[in-house]
Structure 1
Amino acid sequence: MKYLLAILLLIFTSCGSGEEKTNIEPQTTLKVALAYKPRSFDPHKHTDSSTLAVTKQIYSNLFSLSETGEIVPELVESYEIKEDGAIIFKLKKGILFHDGKEMKAEDVKRSLERNLKIPVSKVLVEAIDKIKILDEYTLEIIQSNSPSILLHNLAHSSTAIVKENSVGDNEINLVGTGAFRIKDWTISEKVILERFEDYYEEKAKMEEVIFQTIPETSNRLIALETGEIDIAYDISSNDLKGINKNKNLKVINKTSLGSDFVTINTQKITDKRVRQAIEYAVNKKAIVDTVYEGYSSVPKSILSPNVFGYDDSIEGREYNIEKAKILLKEAGIKNLNLGLWIYDEPSRQQMAQIIQANLKEIGIDVEINVLEVSSFLQYTGMGEHDMLIGLWYVSTGDADYGYYPLLHSSSLGAVGNRSFYKNSDVDFLLDQARKTTSNVLRKENYKKVQEIIYDEVPLFPIAYKNYIIGLQKNVEGFIFNPNGNHILSKVYIKKPE
């Protein structure tokens, strides 16, 4: 009888175990790996891709940018552009901040005024002269630039609508209206967000999102392969083949609004012939083929083709060692020693090594200086470098954000102009492009800017940046955004069949 009971118990236990396997609980936490640690939860103070990848989930914008570069209302119900360039915004009603208070016109006004006080994001909204509250949900922005520029800039994640709440004598807590809110943001390598149950659109599919910093590309791939994470940002093109061969993984590989480029400090390398020689000597195709394994293209401009103001007729400087040597000879330069600054990332090191070898051929010795990202930004913002390899996302989809921060004399240093380039003609063209309401004139101005930059070479493009994102095969609902601030509220993990 004992043996019969034991057998029956074993049968029932086995049946119960099988039933448990077929009724797997849905995964409620999404794990995302970033290449760099987010710098803070304040989108107004930082424009780096890791910070904004996280803050985009917490805060919403008045507008967003579609994959095709079109402006799409987000917090705005409708808007009207007046003849004088002023814009009237009617906000959606019933949108709650994470503190439970409804967002109203006064909140938007304060958020934009906060942007105006912070140098990093001021460049996006400095055209605003005055903000008038028309009623609880309607405001009018009096501004001096082309309305098109401001609309595009309001889609940048650094102009997200934030609300300041005091939590102590000297401490400010920011709240947003996004699909997720902050659960734990400490000095560790993880940021944990939790679903905001009162989100104004369909609430997020996942209860939690954990952003984990894994600096090494190979380690991000390993974490993806072992199932430690669900999504890995900034996958190297060298790892694409491995992902494609893994039946449990899939990849998104799309063109972004960004480009890699070399910035030359014009205060240190003052002769444009030397700067031209440097560009002639850099084999951009070799970089694209080697570093990106052909998953990119050699650009003519730092603007990608899907950015307003891009001109396909502009000239590009092709690899030509002999021309480079002639220019250096004309400039009377022999045995030049330069420092090339990069932040610590494998593709940057590969690019730097190729550039180092290229410039060696024309008698320029290059020392590669590798820094952690925050140090890189700090010291290059102070002008310590001779050259650097930069990456800039024209996240607004408009040439103004591509050229103004990087080339205008008012943006010298940490704001973006790390070439410390000053040219009154460029300043005038960029200022005029901001003031006119004619997109035709704006395009003409941007074309002239590109022609000047081609001649004076404060910076030059290397490659268009592709976003390569690795995902588990069962990750569904991921919304790609060409500015890098991908949307995670629709993501869910498909249950195994």
Structure 2
Amino acid sequence: MTKKTSKWLLVSVLTALLTTLIAFGTGPTNVTAAAGRTLVYGSTADPKGLSPLSTADTVSSNVIQQVYETLFRQDAKTLKAKPWLAKSYERKSATDWIIHLRTGIKFQDGTPFNAAAVKYTFDQMKDPKRAAPRASLLEPIASTTVVNDSTVEIKTKYPYGPFLAMLSHPNASIVSPTADKKGKLNTHPVGTGPFKFKSWTTGDSVKLVRNTDYWGKKPKLAGVTFKTVPDYATAVSMLQTGKIQLLDNVTSDYLSRIKSLTNVKLTNKAGTPMRYFGFNMQSNPSKNKKFRQAAAYAINAKTYVAQLNGLGTYNPSLIGPELFGYNKNDKKAATTYNLKKAKELVKANGFNKKTYTILVGNQPAYVQMAQVVQQQLAKAGIKVKIEKQEWATYLTTLASGKFEMTFSGWANSTGDASELFYPNLDSKNIGSSNYMKYSNKQFDAEVEKSRETLNTSERKKALSAANKIAMKDIPWIVMDHNSVAVAQAKDLKGVTVLPTGMWYLGGAYFN
């Protein structure tokens, strides 16, 4: 063989090899891209549970939304409900809805998704024996009937305005009847979503993996790990070093640091969530309206919001600007900061003679609020101590009613103020989701009006009336209507973030 021939053969082999590499991509890189990466989210607390039938908190919902799905899903910009597991719908009358379901979908345990599964889920949510924390969500439903495998008929007790928004709520997610009947759904979730459950190590992490049989567009991530990192400073450091790639509920204390990270993108936009200082209306001293007035006069929420550096807005109205039902004039009914009046009430009623307790869950935003309010109340002569509890323990204590005052919030996931008032402050929900045990018949009547008509102007009028009644009674003092702030690795794309603070990872990928 001549040198010329040898060179020709070598060039031919190299050319063929190069052509193969171009056609299929370099081996290791292409395999990695196909397999995807696992996204790690930094959670400030452990979930309370992993079943939509047994939970009502945001920490749990973050996981639930990736495993389960709802009949409808809200648009990320407009919050308008669009069919998801449902294919289409029709309204036969003001109280009669026909929902046509997608076909060929299975739960992650192989159970068929069908009309029977929808009926099972909604019946379980409404069953008093089940005592679902968010049973009030489906209160308007009178009956759910299986028409055929792919069709359900839902009749409501009255014309219910936010019907489709209700069916978009995470707690209306459809569960596998087979899995739920085994009694382990709260620790081993089974839904129809893009990710399925792998493991839950309490105090450490919840791990999900890609659902390779997902009915929709296949997820690109290999999985999602919800890493429990109670200390927010540690979470930010992990974000900086790439150990976690997604962190929400960004606090003002770490805002400038997160903004300075070259490998991180920060998204901050107006949202529906609201955070408040709440009073147990059946416990001393909170059941005394003069005490609540004194506290309302002592708390300078505007000063607190100024410390948030754009992560929240000040507005004493319980209904925030991003919610259906907001009326800018309602805020005039609120009792707002007046330190002189606060001191007068404290002295006249002896509120300076005892030390009271504020219960708070171990989430950075609530702890920060508690510390600010503790100082502000002290200036008026009200002494309080802060009792901080791990998140799941806090939720249990809150439900038990064994507290005087607390800090909490509401995501307003439906975007409708009637679903702010009914579960949280309507007297019919004392003993379930009305943790403040607030009761006012006039308030209840206005909330009922807002829920039992499809007339938009009538609904707004009733919500405004209810808003002003509650502000005068002071079961809550609004701390802020907070924005939705999410920090993520710059190479993480496709995360869908809603104004409600909810997010979906089905379309997420690393660039």
Contact 1:81 1:147 in 2 (8 A): no
Q: Distance in 2 between matches of 1:445 and 1:169?
A: 43
1:107 aligns with 2:93: no
Q: Distance in 2 between matches of 1:446 and 1:337?
A: 36
In the other structure, the counterpart of 2:492 is 475
Quickly say closer, same or farther: Cα 1:167–1:283, change in 2 above 3 A. Answer: closer
Contact 1:221 1:235 in 2 (8 A): no
The residue matched to 1:361 in structure 2 has which SS? Answer: helix
In the other structure, the counterpart of 1:97 is 107
In the other structure, the counterpart of 2:72 is 63
The residue matched to 2:499 in structure 1 has which SS? Answer: coil
Quickly say closer, same or farther: Cα 1:209–1:334, change in 2 above 3 A. Answer: closer
1:154 aligns with 2:202: no
Q: Distance in 1 between matches of 2:389 and 2:88?
A: 45
Quickly say closer, same or farther: Cα 1:22–1:427, change in 2 above 3 A. Answer: closer
Q: Deviations over 1:107-151 (max 9, x none)?
A: 111111111124312111122111222222111111114332332
1:73 aligns with 2:111: no
1:308 aligns with 2:324: yes
Letter of the aligned partner of 1:311 in structure 2?
N
Letter of the aligned partner of 1:389 in structure 2?
F
The residue matched to 2:32 in structure 1 has which SS? Answer: coil
In the other structure, the counterpart of 1:364 is 382
Contact 1:341 1:385 in 2 (8 A): yes
Which of 252, 272, 280 is the aligned partner of 1:257? 272
In the other structure, the counterpart of 1:13 is none
Letter of the aligned partner of 2:55 in structure 1?
H
In the other structure, the counterpart of 2:422 is 404
CA RMSD of aligned residues (A): 2.4
Letter of the aligned partner of 1:232 in structure 2?
L
Quickly say closer, same or farther: Cα 1:452–1:214, change in 2 above 3 A. Answer: same
1:228 aligns with 2:228: no
In the other structure, the counterpart of 2:5 is none
Q: Distance in 2 between matches of 1:97 and 1:349?
A: 39
Using structure 1 for the length normalisation, give the TM-score.
0.90
Q: Distance in 1 between matches of 2:410 and 2:206?
A: 24
The alpha carbon displacement at 1:329 in A equals 5.4
The alpha carbon displacement at 1:24 in A equals 8.9
Contact 1:87 1:147 in 2 (8 A): no
Quickly say closer, same or farther: Cα 1:285–1:188, change in 2 above 3 A. Answer: closer
Contact 1:304 1:464 in 2 (8 A): yes
Q: Distance in 1 between matches of 2:182 and 2:469?
A: 51
Q: Distance in 2 between matches of 1:108 and 1:34?
A: 30
In the other structure, the counterpart of 2:16 is none
Quickly say closer, same or farther: Cα 1:170–1:335, change in 2 above 3 A. Answer: closer
Contact 2:206 2:226 in 1 (8 A): yes
Which of 458, 461, 478 is the aligned partner of 1:444? 461
Which of 24, 32, 48 is the aligned partner of 1:25? 32
Count of residue pairs the alignment pairs up = 476
Q: Distance in 2 between matches of 1:169 and 1:243?
A: 44
Which of 99-108 and 137-146 deviates more? 99-108
In the other structure, the counterpart of 1:192 is 207
The residue matched to 1:198 in structure 2 has which SS? Answer: coil
The alpha carbon displacement at 1:275 in A equals 1.1
The residue matched to 2:146 in structure 1 has which SS? Answer: strand
The residue matched to 1:257 in structure 2 has which SS? Answer: coil
In the other structure, the counterpart of 2:191 is 176
Gaps of 5+ in 2: 1-25
Q: Deviations over 1:4-60 (max 9, x none)?
A: xxxxxxxxxxxxxxx899879334221111111122221221121111111111111
The residue matched to 1:256 in structure 2 has which SS? Answer: coil
Contact 1:32 1:232 in 2 (8 A): yes
Which of 414, 432, 438 is the aligned partner of 1:421? 438
Q: Deviations over 1:225-264 (max 9, x none)?
A: 1111121223322222222222111112223321110111
The alpha carbon displacement at 1:294 in A equals 3.7
Contact 1:478 1:490 in 2 (8 A): yes
The alpha carbon displacement at 1:334 in A equals 4.9
Quickly say closer, same or farther: Cα 1:169–1:181, change in 2 above 3 A. Answer: closer
Which of 384, 387, 409 is the aligned partner of 2:405? 387
Quickly say closer, same or farther: Cα 1:330–1:454, change in 2 above 3 A. Answer: farther
In the other structure, the counterpart of 1:14 is none
Which of 105, 129, 135 is the aligned partner of 1:122? 135
Matched-pair identity in %:
29
Quickly say closer, same or farther: Cα 1:224–1:281, change in 2 above 3 A. Answer: same
1:52 aligns with 2:61: yes
Q: Distance in 1 between matches of 2:257 and 2:420?
A: 34
Letter of the aligned partner of 2:161 in structure 1?
S
Q: Distance in 2 between matches of 1:362 and 1:145?
A: 47
Q: Deviations over 1:357-405 (max 9, x none)?
A: 2112222111111111122222222222221111111111111210112
Letter of the aligned partner of 2:222 in structure 1?
E
In the other structure, the counterpart of 1:278 is 295
Structure 1 segments, 4+ long, off by >6 Å, are 19-24
The alpha carbon displacement at 1:171 in A equals 4.8
Q: Distance in 2 between matches of 1:338 and 1:167?
A: 42
Gaps of 5+ in 1: 1-18
Contact 2:55 2:132 in 1 (8 A): no
Using structure 2 for the length normalisation, give the TM-score.
0.87
Q: Deviations over 1:446-488 (max 9, x none)?
A: 1111111121111121111222222111111111122333110
Contact 1:69 1:306 in 2 (8 A): no
Letter of the aligned partner of 1:242 in structure 2?
R
Letter of the aligned partner of 1:306 in structure 2?
E
The alpha carbon displacement at 1:100 in A equals 3.1
Q: Deviations over 1:51-101 (max 9, x none)?
A: 111111111101112232211211111112232411111112222221334
Letter of the aligned partner of 2:176 in structure 1?
K
Contact 1:271 1:331 in 2 (8 A): no
Which of 343-352 and 479-488 deviates more? 343-352
Q: Distance in 1 between matches of 2:230 and 2:27?
A: 37
In the other structure, the counterpart of 1:248 is 263
Q: Distance in 2 between matches of 1:374 and 1:390?
A: 13
Quickly say closer, same or farther: Cα 1:130–1:348, change in 2 above 3 A. Answer: closer
Contact 2:319 2:467 in 1 (8 A): no
Contact 2:70 2:172 in 1 (8 A): yes
Q: Deviations over 1:302-355 (max 9, x none)?
A: 332222122221124332112223444565655353211111233323222221
